[in-house]
Every structure is written in structure tokens, then in C-alpha cells.
Structure 1
Amino acid sequence: MSKKDYDGMRYPSVDDLLKVIDSKYKLAYAAARRAHIIEEEEWTAAEDGMCVKPVGQALEEILNNQTKMTFK
């Protein structure tokens, strides 16, 4: 998918993300935590990604297995 074809809320797909993290609640928690860190540090592993906002960047990182989250 190119940036030209990017359509906001449809990328990354929730169905694809749920293949990486098995629960939508864990996914929301992980994305929020990582987005907060991205915002504080002003750095993301998905720098060449399509999303410009921290939550989208966090979701791209999760989709591409570029971040590791542990749940207790």
C-alpha cells in the first residue's frame, strides 16, 4: 500500500492487528502505551511508515513486530 492509497482509519487493519495481539483490549492498551512513549521521545521504529500520528505509528510498529509488549 502506498501513501497515496492510505485511507486513515482503515490502515492498519484491525483484523491484521488482532493476528499479532489476540485481544482488542490488549491491542488498545499496547497502542496507547506505545503512542505515549513515541510522543515523549519523538521517535518511532516506523519512521518510514504511512501514519503520522503517534497512535497510528504505534499500531504500525505492532503490526510489523517492531515493538515488544508484555502484559501482566
Structure 2
Amino acid sequence: MLYPSIDALLERIDSKYSLVSVAAKRARMMQQNKDERLPKYVSHKFVGKALEEIYSGDLTYRVVRKADAPAGNQ
């Protein structure tokens, strides 16, 4: 059984695509920087740890629109 479940994760993030993107980016950051936000994880792999952070509410994301983006990112 997958922990946390996909249904529980989709209550935190609105789409599967966004969920995969956020989890993958966070997993890369954890692997490179050895940065863990939770005191204890169920998973031993970085992607699983990222999903646990999303489920706990410690990891979120926001959509940046072109009008909101800094001048160098357009």
C-alpha cells in the first residue's frame, strides 16, 4: 500500500501533473542538499519523502503567472 495515498495527496495538490512535478523537484533538492523537513519519514527514497512532505503540509507550491513573474523570467 502506498503511503500517502494518491487520493490524500490530490486533496493537497490539484492535479497529478503538478503533484509529480513538485515531488520530483523536491526529491532532487533533498538529494543534492541533504535537506529534510520532517523529523521522521516512512519512506527511505527521496520521492517518497517528498510525497510525505506534501501530505503533511510542509511542502506546497504556487502558480506564477507571466504578470506576476520577475522581469527576467518572461
TM range, normalised to the smaller chain?
Answer: 0.7 to 0.9
Aligned length, in residue pairs? 64
Q: Does 1:16 align with 2:8?
A: yes
User: Displacement, 1:67?
Assistant: 1.8
Identity of aligned residues (%): 38
CA distance 1:59–1:38, change in 2 (3 Å): same
Residue 59 of structure 2, aligned match among 60, 63, 67? 67
Q: Which residue of the partner structure matches residue 38 of structure 1?
A: 30
Counterparts of 2:42 and 2:9 in 1: how far apart (Å)? 16
Structure richer in helix, relative to its length? 1
Question: Of the two, which has the highest radius of gyration?
Answer: 2
TM-score scaled by length of structure 1: 0.80
Task: State the 4+ residue runs in structure 1 displaced beyond 3 angstroms.
Answer: none
Consecutive unaligned residues in structure 2, runs of 5 or more = 65-74
